[in-house]
A and B are shown apart, each in its own frame.
Chain A
Amino acid sequence: MFEAREMMVFYENMIALNNVSIDVPDGKIIGIFGSNSAGKSTLMYVLSGIILDIKKKEEMRGGERISVYGKLTLDGEDVSSLKPHLRAKKGIVLCPERRRIFPESTVMENLKIGSYLSDKERTKDNLEYVLNLFPRLKDHLKRQGGFLSGGEQQMLAIGRALMANPKVLLLDEPLMGLSPAYMDIVIGGTKEIRDTKGITIIITEQYARPVIPIIDNGYILENGSTVLSGTGAELLDNPDVKSAYFGV
């Protein structure tokens, strides 16, 4: 059980997240939808702890002051002030927006970097699992990450996150810039990860249509606050949501 209670984030005086609370039961897929500037990425930064890192960098640079409030718990344990690398150790792993793979390392090396936290046995298992999940990666193991296509880079990014033995996997806009065919592969892969490994997944997306069939629960963010939450079917039934996020 991963819970975020009353998360508030300010970038200087601008409010980016306003009282957002989400519940993530074990083994479920949670969808978070919203347009640009709704606060999706900020929420992901908060959940993964990257926000603390950004905050520190801004402080050093004399830039914006970022204030973060709220409580995050993972299985009853408070993780709100944990640094990002310690959160990753606890099993909260982020697959960042725009993939951020290591462009000058090969696919194999990228995956190995991801498995820094796990031991030899598990790395072997995980590697096999990832390569079965996304067989296209098998053909390019020796290629540099930067030379992969966008879709393959996304698979690699998800694979790299999986190598870190996540309990909660955060996927930030995994469908950005993908063709419909690749969207299907990524969405299918996401569902399979949940079904076979029981990993909890939080997925953010602007274009909700391909994601909605696989989610258990969804939240809709607007200007930093949740305006609607419910199961996938409930969200689909809402006429406003339909026109705004599903393009129907």
Chain B
Amino acid sequence: MMRKERIDRGVRVRTAGLYAIASWQEILYLVGPPLFLIVGAIILPILLEFAPYWKRVINIVCVYAIIALSFDFLANFVGLVCLGGAFFVGIGGYLSAIFNVYLHFPVYLSIPLATISGAVISTVLLMPALPLRGVYFAIVTLMYPLLATRVIEALNIMGGTNGIIGLDSLPNAYVEHYMVIIVMLIFLYGMRRFVNQDMGLVIRGVKDNDQAVRASGISVTKMKAFAVFVSSFMGCFAGAYIAHMYSWAGISLFALDFSIIPIASVVIGGGGTLLGAVLGSFILVPISELLRNFGTFRIVIYCVILTGFIVFKSEGIMVYAMRKYHQFERWVKV
């Protein structure tokens, strides 16, 4: 009888843990993939100089990647499935509009300020929902953006249905690109590091068994609140950036797109890897741009891709790719 065996590559075993780096191949093996991503992301705007339409898409891709990171962190590391990614985006967008248009802060001040204060506000507003788990948390967070839209419409505040117009746009196209690309890379690698720090480990413990965490003398609510702060921090940056990119903050910042497309990216890329969230956005958002000509029919294609992934490859691209990269298979005799 034969059995397919799956074992780690030699180079993987040598380079894991001890960092016994002996040759160029091993160094390349370790730093190759992240280097490819970083360098690729940085030269992308230059490469796409010849396709101005697609240059604009890079920004949108990166924005969605950031929102997907925030969803992946909250869902797969904290255990809070948050369907309200658009809420963070909306809060960040409106705050930066208020800072910029009403208070006349420059762009470089309004984006960071909106990010931080937006994260604080989102965390405080989500505080009552924190004891909830699973589908209840998902439903409550799904309600938040809808609620925000209706409040703005009904009270006719902050520009009402017209939104706030006349935000300063970023000085030039390259600043626009590199700002979001670099922030995305910082968030990605920062989060990858963070989830393996002490605090990150506790937060992952909350997902696995919150009673055990409580029994260890750690406040679960505090931990969850901090995790929501981190996650909404990323979401609010994305919102603030979009508002400045379009020079406009309106109720479409609370649109369902900002909640759903990042979730789909995480499913395609592979949940719980963080890199997968970014990869998924880099695949999904350009596809949805390509399909723009099909109008509403693109939703159908979109749904087919998503369903296919969930049914046939629910592990996601990233998990699959990582396995192929680190391990090889061979037949052995049982």
Residues of A within 8 A of B (CB): 8, 10, 12-13, 60-63, 65, 67, 69
Contact = CB atoms under 8 A, between A and B. Distances in A.
Nearest to B315: A62
A67 B329 CA distance: 14
A61 B319 CA distance: 9
A103 B1 CA distance: 43
B7 A62 contact: no
Contacts of B319: 62
A64 to B, nearest CB: 9
A60 B271 CA distance: 13
Interface residues of B, number: 14
B249 to A, nearest CB: 40
Nearest to A10: B3
Interface in B93-134: none
Contacts of B193: none
B4 A65 contact: yes
A62 B3 contact: no
B326 interface: no
B323 A65 contact: no
B320 interface: yes
B176 to A, nearest CB: 37
B268 to A, nearest CB: 13
A67 to B, nearest CB: 5
Nearest to B320: A62
Contacts of B5: 13
Contact of B315 (A10, A12, A60, A65): A60
B334 interface: yes
Contact of B334 (A8, A12, A65): A8
B6 A12 contact: yes
Nearest to A67: B3
A104 B7 CA distance: 43
B243 to A, nearest CB: 38
23 contacts: A10-B3, A12-B6, A13-B5, A13-B6, A13-B7, A60-B314, A60-B315, A61-B314, A62-B270, A62-B314, A62-B316, A62-B319, A62-B320, A62-B323, A63-B315, A65-B4, A65-B6, A67-B3, A67-B4, A67-B334, A69-B1, A69-B3, A69-B334
Lowest 10 CB-CB distances: which A-B pairs, in order? A62-B315, A62-B319, A60-B314, A67-B3, A69-B1, A61-B315, A65-B6, A13-B5, A69-B334, A8-B334
A69 B323 CA distance: 24
A12 B334 CA distance: 13
A36 B270 CA distance: 34
Nearest to A15: B334
Contacts of A69: 1, 3, 334
B334 to A, nearest CB: 6
Given A60-B314, A65-B6, A69-B1, 15 more contacts: A8-B334, A10-B3, A12-B6, A60-B315, A61-B314, A62-B270, A62-B314, A62-B315, A62-B316, A62-B319, A65-B4, A67-B3, A67-B334, A69-B3, A69-B334
Nearest to B5: A13
A63 B272 CA distance: 13
Nearest to A18: B334
A13 B3 CA distance: 10
B75 to A, nearest CB: 15
Chain A CB within 10 Å — which of B4, B7, B315, B320 has the most? B315
Contacts of A67: 3-4, 334
A31 to B, nearest CB: 28
Interface string B245-261: 00000000000000000
A81 B314 CA distance: 24
Contacts of A61: 314-315
Nearest to A59: B315
A86 to B, nearest CB: 23
